[in-house]
Amino acid sequence: MGIMTGRSIIERGVTQHRADALLVACGDYRFVDDWHKFMCEKGLNYKYYCYTPPGATKGIISPRSALSDTRLDDIATYWRASQGQIRTVFELHHEDCAAYGRSLAFTCAEDERRRHFEDMRVARLAIDRRLMIEHERMNPIAPFDVSYVLAYGHVKPNKTDDYDFEILEDIDGVLGRPTAPPDERPFAAL
């Protein structure tokens, strides 16, 4: 039969990706089962792509670095693989993340949570710009419609590797809950 190139696979219609979401989460092994459970609870079992670089979206916020460009290129690849069908991007960070220097790098848990939230918001803007460019290339006529959910994992009490997730921001209320007005969102003044 021979080797099928990427082009011949697409031409034959072999790749029918149908992912409704993209999850950008830290690859920390303590975190994997919990973020998969989180996505399944949102009705996305086997309907999402998963990108798991260390620190989740931390590498994206580096000002115009090769790492930032690479991470955005990777996310754009998932967009193209889904043929622009991704409707929600989930950014999941967690406490005690080694990419951030663990919890010891912060004066308190609230400072740690605030830093992650600030970084996720900056990354969301960069991801949105990049996906909008990819969308324009693929389908300039269709409207660009992507929502974002920013979530933060907390270690459950008396556990070392079991996380609960707090939704910090649900842009457009995609999880069925209306988003608070901007002045009522956590850390809105940042």
Q: State what percent of residues in the chain have pLDDT above 90.
A: 34
Question: Is 182 part of a structural domain of the chain?
Answer: no
Question: Is 62 part of a structural domain of the chain?
Answer: yes
Question: Is 189 part of a structural domain of the chain?
Answer: no
Residue range of the domain that includes 140: 15-173
Q: Say how many C-beta atoms besides its own lie within 10 A of residue 45's C-beta.
A: 11
Question: Is 183 part of a structural domain of the chain?
Answer: no
Question: Is 9 part of a structural domain of the chain?
Answer: no
Q: How many structural domains does the chain have?
A: 1
- Whether 189 shows a pLDDT value over 70: the answer reads no
Question: Is 186 part of a structural domain of the chain?
Answer: no
Top pLDDT among 167 and 24 is at 24
Q: Domain of 122: which CATH number?
A: 3.40.1050
Q: Compute the distance between CA of residue 149 and CA of residue 63 in angstroms, rounded to an integer.
A: 23
Residue range 28-35: average pLDDT?
A: 82
Q: In the structure encoding, which two tokens stand for residue 171, read together?
A: 């842009």
Question: Is 110 part of a structural domain of the chain?
Answer: yes
What sign for the dihedral angle of Cα 103, 104, 110, 115?
negative
* pLDDT of amino acid 16: 57
Question: Is 2 part of a structural domain of the chain?
Answer: no
pLDDT in tens, 65-116: 788 889 999 999 999 999 888 999 999 998 889 889 998 899 998 999 999 9
Max intra-chain CA distance, the chain: 61
Q: Locate tokens 């842009």: which residue?
A: 171
pTM over 0.95: no
In DSSP notation, the chain reads --PPPHHHHHHTT------SEEEEE---TTTHHHHHHHHHHTT-TTSEEEE--TTTTGGGGSTT-HHHHHHHHHHHHHHHHTTT---EEEEEEETT-GGGT-GGGSSSHHHHHHHHHHHHHHHHHHHHHHHHHHHHHH-SSSPP--EEEEEEEEEPTT-SS-EEEEEEEEGGGTTSSPPPPGGGSTTTT-
